Amino acid sequence: MKRFRMLATVVALLFATIARAQPVQRGFSVVVLLGETQAAASGESLPPAPALRKALNDVKDFLPYKSYKTLDTQWLRGGSTRMKGLDDQEYDVDLTADEINPAGSGTLLVLFKLKEVGAAENSSEEYGRSIQAADLERQRAHLVALLPAAQGAMLQEQKARIELVDRQIRLAKARRLIDSRFQMQVGETVVVGTSKIGGGDKGLVVLLTSVAGGK
């Protein structure tokens, strides 16, 4: 009986040691890059962090970009956050992650979404937004046509109305950019997805790092 108890104690300690050795997922680092098809003046430009450089190098044959610039970096454990983009554009990020094998495999199933602030939730809503955007653009054209005849306070008022309509147009045209479901390991960095902006010569590249740490 005494030998059995000793053996049970050893086994318990062994499993405790294994459990401590498993990577523990602490949260996520989200990085939004601006990729450009034109090479930087000094040649290819990649983020300085080794994990980000490796992730980009792993998929560089599938990306058209020659240089990169970091737009924003956020840390979150899950849920939602807002990130900054190019020309004051903002993006809503939504992230959920579940461990596939709770016993400690370190493999996560991740659902990641990135959209411009105010983007439609579904295709039927997008259709309504497109009609709204067309109507707003007609309003803007009418306001611009009235500018030459406006003077003084009226001119400033017309310009303010045009700026308001511009914001409304931007909101009506807000897009869903990335909707991805994938697996990753704790401690791994992956390229979640890309989305073209600026007429196609620029694009967003989103990288996600599952940060590991102790319990």
Of the candidates 131, 111, 129, the one whose C-alpha atom is nearest the C-alpha of residue 121 is 129
- pTM for this prediction: 0.71
- Encode pLDDT of 105-143 as tens digits: 688 999 999 999 888 777 777 778 888 889 989 999 999
Lookup: tokens for 186? 């704790």
| Residue-range domain boundaries for the chain | 25-119+175-213, 132-170
* Coil vs helix vs strand at 135: helix
Q: 16 CB contacts (<8 Å, ≥6 apart)?
A: none
Q: 49 CB contacts (<8 Å, ≥6 apart)?
A: none
Percent of the chain with pLDDT over 90: 34
Question: Does residue 188 register a pLDDT over 90?
Answer: yes
Q: How far is CA 44 from CA 57, 190, 192, in A?
A: 11, 20, 21
- Per-residue confidence band for 24, with pLDDT thresholds at 50, 70 and 90: low
Lookup: tokens for 2? 């005494």
Predicted pLDDT at 125? 77
